[in-house]
Structure 1
């Protein structure tokens, strides 16, 4: 009986280039050659959703990684150099950011170290939920607004932060590019001093070291050198509570900036183009009229005498604007201004106030120099950020005042103009509309004087002579100054500030930019905050230093001509014993062996049996006549299944085309039998490891029952998940996959499970997975939560 149970098989339409199992659910993420990211379930390999490439994200996926809690999937795009964080429930981007390099590898780890201080810190976090009101959800009726903040039921900031425990997304790219992002959002380290393009990396769960494998290629040399680096990241480990608190604050700040940006986007959409009609029609009227009097004077004549002095004005009002058009324009202005006003008060201001709160807390942390100075937290930079947010809040308040003033002015103006146009058309005017006091006349006259004065210098910039509509200029994403800035003459506070030198320069007062738009001040605020967030990444990055470096082997350029899903070396971090394992094959010299390099995460310590070679003895029944110690297997792909096991795809070295391949489990206990006795290999770090290959101790293992022949499949690659006890094998043509459950329960338990599932299905539980593979597109929109979990009985023990 085969050792592993096959539970799914599928032929895929596109070549798969990356596979990654979810750490918490029976879900596997795939990226294909077309740039599509797909999520599949274990049973029958049914599709849950797919995210096609688009202009806003990118078209070529180069890396995949799951957040340790399995709720967010990250993938890197090389053409746009962007990282996308995608919700597991729906194919939607929760967050994205740009990087300076094409990403070639990513690893998302979670800190496992516990202490009494950390536990109390986790319990106290996060008090901002008690002190700040919940951010109101953004309206759903605006097309360009991302859906991330639009649902009342989800608190997106907490979804992005996940568990309080620190997790870090480590990115590796070309030209020695390595960056570490706390919670997948905030950059806490830019690592330098590593050469080559990253082929694999692993940050230890105790945060003490980072292991990196790079490919260093000389332009004049067709061969690339595979090199192993171990970097000391002990600063992160030493200041774990401080790094966690700082990272959470910065992640809140980043999310609030996104919330403010989307609120402003909604405001821009609420402002309608129809509001420009008054300005454009007045400009056209000036260009076409034959009279020498100004538009302002002509409207004044209409106000004083109740009729237009010139036929051109009457034609403009009656033929172009029309009574019906005037009514519609008035309704549009009132509706648009009201929507913008609500967005400013409920969203822009609440987001800005929350931003001020978190920045003020961050400033308090920065002033605690004993704990936070080593991490690069700078109080002066945070003070500048607080000032920038204050300026933004002032500008938002100014916009509210402009909206309030404009709404009153336009209501009075349109009420008067409506009556005047009814008289021109000799329609009946209702008595209540006809009443106009001297105060009303003065109000309209002041409005005409202020808004209807011609400004020919505007024509070259804006294509019009007038700026009657004053709100839209605040929402334009332009660097130009406001066309009609607010009039501050006669304002007692401005005069007081102007005449008081010391008060004017006081840091307690936020600077005010009367000439600038809301967009300009928002961009300025984002720039200052980004600058304040960058410093810790530089300071922590400079503290990371190289503790160990060794060249492993050389590989020819021809190796890249065949599509390779996973390229050994492959890294693994043993959380229990704090050891980095590196698994690799010497591609040309000794393909029948796999090598296991071990390094302690504490760079000051070493481990015995630092490197071992493993070869596979004969175990296939069809080769029974051969000697048991014959070296007849080569390793095509290997992954660490858990702390004690490696999953491998093997083939016979003398294999001919069409022969079967083998999926097997290699227990590390059969390799590391007696560490104390064997001692440690002493190698020369100045020479490549493949030049010292004869000195590496070799262990021959004969697999007993943990293997399975993969019939009718030219298997090449494997992806595994030891927590969920599953593996996925991919063929060399990158389109044929098989899924296996690796630890098969005994028959009694299996029968019980089948009976339980049958009972649940009979009881009417949803079962989208009964759909055929041909109808897989029908479940593209189904969320992962809607689909039944194949291992529901194990869920409680796996959740943190």
Structure 2
């Protein structure tokens, strides 16, 4: 009697490429060839949600992994070279980042470390949040940011961190591409020296080593599978420093996102109406017949109360009294909004950025950083980032000064011009506006002299002569210099710096870039921080060395319908014994044997490693008591727990018509006999397989015949005690609960007709049969509640 029960079965409309169980809940994530990510619940394999990729994100999903807490799904997008983090609850894309190579495999692991140093760090970090100011919520009135940083979602990116305990997302791709990302966001290591395309990855939970399965394709030879173990001891030795660095830089990434949205709000607050004065003055210059300067005409109106007919037509017909009043209100409202954003958002951002950057060790725990040859280079990038944040702070303060001065200038100018236009139209002038002191006249005269001079150089820049409005130039995302940079001739501090030979070029002072816009300095800061982010990953990557390597076997030609993700070998990280296990078959050398390679996760410890072969023919003799028992080969294998292996078996020599068997293999006795294997590094393992010790297992009731199904691939979750089997055509799925007795035999007999119909559809190919191309449930023989 089988020891597990079928609880669901379904025919899917599109071929499945990946299927991974959630580590915490009864959910399984599927990715199909159409670029869709699907989430199904165990109960009757019910769909929870689907996420369809589009042209902007790419459509080729090349890998899939769950975060260990089951809240985030990570998947690689091959045609766009992206990694996407998706919320498992709402099917929302939370974060994306580009990579150098299409990701072929993913592995996400929690780091298990109970050291007192790390525990103290976690507690202190939680307390530090009580003293640091929180980022204010961005205004909801701006359409661009209302959906991103509403009050409820202002810390959405920070929620990606999850628990304080460190977790690491490992990426593998072609040409030896391997990278490690703390919390799935911050790159802590870029590895080199790995040959071939990564097919499987497993980072040990103690951070001591990284096991990689690669496929190497030599010139004019068959590709072969190789196993490599990399020593990542620096990450383990400096776990507290790595965790602190990762969380600090993840905070910085969040702050950068917040900064971009704040600048977007500022650009939306700056209205195009503010340029109307510049455009109308330019048109006035181009149309008037006199040679009088514009500022002279306005000064004549200021001093004598008289204006030329051209100026009067400009003021009364084009600008109008009502339009002038509206323009003054718009400028005051817009400048006030920008001023508030600079004070409450940009300055708060720079303070928090310095808080994250200054205490950060640039080498994240190099054994002796002061004597390291790369310490000075990493420190330089770190200091450059702090300097760039300081320069951005100066530019934000400069913008505040320009806003403050512009508000005062425009308020006085519009008040005078409003009264002058009322007098031109012979309207009543309110008494409170009719009084103008000599100081007010001098202020307006200075404003006209500074802002109303014709600038011929501006004619080549979008056909404009005038630049009365000075704030908008700071918010334009352009590489050109400011049209009207601030006048610093009377600044005593700048004069003192220029006269001091010691302070003039001092690295302790932040450069102000007076000719550049706020956006330009922002980009400089982002680039400096990005370089600061990259350097520790390069340094840690250089510390990773190869500890062990073994070429396993050659690879024959594959069918296009067999996704390489599902193929052996498979990796397993035993947290209890700190061991790496590699499960693989060698179809050409010995098709009826399953091999298990064992390696200690700590390459420097003298722990017995081993290799053992499991004889599948003797294993399944209990299924058929006849003397002519069929031999079986392994199609797929996945670890159920530390001592149990789930396998899909096929009768040898019967590739198409042979029956399939789902079985649980107890490995305790086999692993205990896995001894040291003396192998020749000059040869592949399949060339010396005869010398590998072989072990025979006795299968009791941990198996089940998969009737009327050409099972090929497998996904299991030992914590939730579930398994999912996928057929060779990648569209037929069966779900099982393990360690549960099946229903009565007569209930299974009733479903034989339905299963036979399914076999006919499956044998006819993916597009055959009625109803093909639509997702429809198939009533399983043992399920009491099906879709």
Tell me how far 1:307 sits from its aligned partner: 5.4
Find the aligned partners of 1:321 and 1:660 in 2 and give their Cα distance: 87
Alpha-carbon distance change, 12 to 416 in structure 1, aligned in 2, over 3 angstroms: farther
Question: Which residue of 1 is the match for residue 385 of structure 2?
Answer: 385
Equivalent runs, 1:532-681 vs 2, <5 Å: 532-560=532-560, 562-604=562-604, 605-615=606-616, 617=618, 625=626, 627-628=628-629, 630-631=630-631, 633-655=632-654, 657=656, 661-669=660-668, 671-672=670-671, 674-675=672-673, 679-681=675-677
Equivalent runs, 1:516-535 vs 2, <5 Å: 516-535=516-535
Find the aligned partners of 2:592 and 2:453 in 1 and give their Cα distance: 87
Q: Secondary structure at the match of 2:440?
A: helix
Equivalent runs, 1:18-417 vs 2, <5 Å: 18-145=18-145, 147=147, 149-152=149-152, 155-156=155-156, 158-221=158-221, 223-306=222-305, 308-311=307-310, 313-362=311-360, 370=368, 378-417=378-417
Range moving further from structure 2, 370-379 or 316-325: 370-379
Tell me how far 1:730 sits from its aligned partner: 2.5
Q: Secondary structure at the match of 2:58?
A: coil
Find the aligned partners of 1:11 and 1:775 in 2 and give their Cα distance: 8
Tell me how far 1:498 sits from its aligned partner: 1.8
Tell me how far 1:489 sits from its aligned partner: 0.9
Find the aligned partners of 1:46 and 1:420 in 2 and give their Cα distance: 75
Question: Which residue of 1 is the match for residue 477 of structure 2?
Answer: 477
| Residue 727 of structure 2, aligned match among 710, 714, 731 | 731
Could you tell me which runs of 5 or more consecutive residues in structure 1 were left unpaired when the two chains were aligned. Answer: 748-773, 777-789, 791-800
Question: Which residue of 2 is the match for residue 694 of structure 1?
Answer: 690
| Residue deviations 1:436-495 (CA, integer Å, cap 9, x gap) | 444333333322222221212122233311112211111122222111111111112222
Range moving further from structure 2, 251-260 or 422-431: 422-431
Find the aligned partners of 2:723 and 2:10 in 1 and give their Cα distance: 14
Find the aligned partners of 1:500 and 1:717 in 2 and give their Cα distance: 74
Find the aligned partners of 1:423 and 1:8 in 2 and give their Cα distance: 86
Q: Answer whether contact 2:242 2:365 (CA < 8 A) is retained.
A: no
Could you tell me which runs of 5 or more consecutive residues in structure 2 were left unpaired when the two chains were aligned. Answer: 744-772, 776-784
Question: Which residue of 2 is the match for residue 751 of structure 1?
Answer: none
Find the aligned partners of 2:646 and 2:326 in 1 and give their Cα distance: 70
Find the aligned partners of 1:538 and 1:358 in 2 and give their Cα distance: 20
Find the aligned partners of 2:618 and 2:458 in 1 and give their Cα distance: 85
Alpha-carbon distance change, 569 to 488 in structure 1, aligned in 2, over 3 angstroms: same
| Residue 736 of structure 2, aligned match among 733, 740, 746 | 740
| Residue deviations 1:381-420 (CA, integer Å, cap 9, x gap) | 3233222211111111111111122222223333333444
Q: Answer whether contact 2:238 2:364 (CA < 8 A) is retained.
A: no
Runs of 4 or more, structure 1, over 6 Å off, are: 364-369, 371-377
Find the aligned partners of 1:60 and 1:640 in 2 and give their Cα distance: 27
Find the aligned partners of 1:381 and 1:172 in 2 and give their Cα distance: 27
Q: Secondary structure at the match of 2:358?
A: helix
Q: Answer whether contact 1:597 1:611 (CA < 8 A) is retained.
A: yes
Alpha-carbon distance change, 339 to 439 in structure 1, aligned in 2, over 3 angstroms: same
Range moving further from structure 2, 696-705 or 534-543: 696-705
Range moving further from structure 2, 48-57 or 354-363: 48-57
Q: Secondary structure at the match of 1:463?
A: coil
Instruction: State the TM-score, normalizing by the size of structure 1.
Output: 0.86
Tell me how far 1:107 sits from its aligned partner: 0.8
Q: Answer whether contact 1:107 1:201 (CA < 8 A) is retained.
A: yes
Q: Answer whether contact 1:387 1:510 (CA < 8 A) is retained.
A: yes
Range moving further from structure 2, 483-492 or 354-363: 354-363
Q: Answer whether contact 2:456 2:465 (CA < 8 A) is retained.
A: yes
Alpha-carbon distance change, 725 to 329 in structure 1, aligned in 2, over 3 angstroms: farther
Q: Answer whether contact 2:622 2:698 (CA < 8 A) is retained.
A: no
Tell me how far 1:177 sits from its aligned partner: 0.9
Range moving further from structure 2, 717-726 or 607-616: 607-616
Alpha-carbon distance change, 723 to 415 in structure 1, aligned in 2, over 3 angstroms: farther
Q: Secondary structure at the match of 2:494?
A: helix
Q: Answer whether contact 1:470 1:484 (CA < 8 A) is retained.
A: yes
May I ask how many residue pairs the two structures share in their alignment? 745
Aligned-pair Cα RMSD in Å: 3.2
